[in-house]
Homo-oligomer: A and B are copies of this chain.
């Protein structure tokens, strides 16, 4: 049997993704029923992203829960490569991260890798990626993270504090390891080659600040796993815990089933899109509908290949009975794609109306979340160690 053709690297995701194969090839562990039960026992409930397998894999999540039960509280670390606008797919891991923060009442370090996006995108200047970082931070803040427990920062603005730790990590990583992990080549620039050491740093910052090892959980989309797999190899050599991680899949684009991409404007819905833009994009969405209304009434639609259904599943119908109801109607031909698109348009626009309001409010709140001065992080780091 021919395997599905897809590619997942931290910089490119394409093709029809086979998540079973991803689990095998990346060497992550599946989140199985036992782990879900364990998680529910500790956290009190399960987020739909867990129940629905949107977060489908992990590394050392069981260890992290054991530490938590012993009273060894963890912190969260996630991030964003600021190369453009935020689309709905970007929000999936962040919404889950916010839920984790609320459930466990823990700190979140949110890294904006403006250096990474500069190294990997020929057209972007460092000034532009840095500007985008602060623009993207508004979307993060709009999701409602706890301002008392959330620190957002860019690599270049805090390099004065970060570079020292990146250097210690870099010394333990060879070019061969980088090539094996990321497929970088001899023609890759030396910023690209060095960068992963910057992405590893936030996993140890809390330990450095506290002066003791603090467990770290990294919720992220699976494409970033090579960074954290390498971090897990290296950090124990420097005396730190391996960071635990939990991986999500991708919200497909509206056109066909692949990762929503900011580079294909009409397949992605951006958080700053107008009601009209959302309507136009959803109206053009690929669905599982039949070729005619008559056929659809007779044979029903196919939600499993439908991007509208995927949007319900992953973001806009997190209530199971609501989802199953519409799924049933689709299968029985009781609802047409046009109606279904109207429902999604309303849901997206309702969400975005509120998100956009909070996003503008975030401009006034941003100072509560951001560390933009090296000296401020250095002060934190100087406290204990």
- Do most interface residues of chain A lie in helix, strand or loop, or is the interface mixed? helix
Instruction: Verify B170–A163 contact, CB threshold 8 A.
Output: no
With a CB–CB cut-off of 8 A, which chain B residues contact A186? 174-176, 179
Instruction: Categorize the interface residue count of chain A.
Output: 35 or more
Instruction: Verify A175–B163 contact, CB threshold 8 A.
Output: no
Whether A126 sits at the interface, judged by CB under 8 Å, is yes
With a CB–CB cut-off of 8 A, which chain B residues contact A375? 373-375
Instruction: Verify B161–A174 contact, CB threshold 8 A.
Output: no
With a CB–CB cut-off of 8 A, which chain B residues contact A197? 190-191
Q: How many copies of this kind of chain does the complex include?
A: 2
Known: A119-B170, A190-B197. A161 touches B164 (CB 8 A): no
Whether A35 sits at the interface, judged by CB under 8 Å, is no
- Which of chain A's residues 139-195 have a Cβ closer than 8 Å to chain B? 156-164, 167-168, 170-176, 178-179, 184-191, 193-194
Whether A118 sits at the interface, judged by CB under 8 Å, is yes
Known: A126-B167, A167-B119, A167-B126. A189 touches B160 (CB 8 A): no
| Among B156, B168, B176, B193, contact of A194 (Cβ-Cβ < 8 Å) | B193
Whether A115 sits at the interface, judged by CB under 8 Å, is yes
Q: List 7 A-B contacts (CB under 8 A).
A: A157-B160, A171-B191, A172-B189, A175-B175, A176-B186, A178-B190, A374-B375
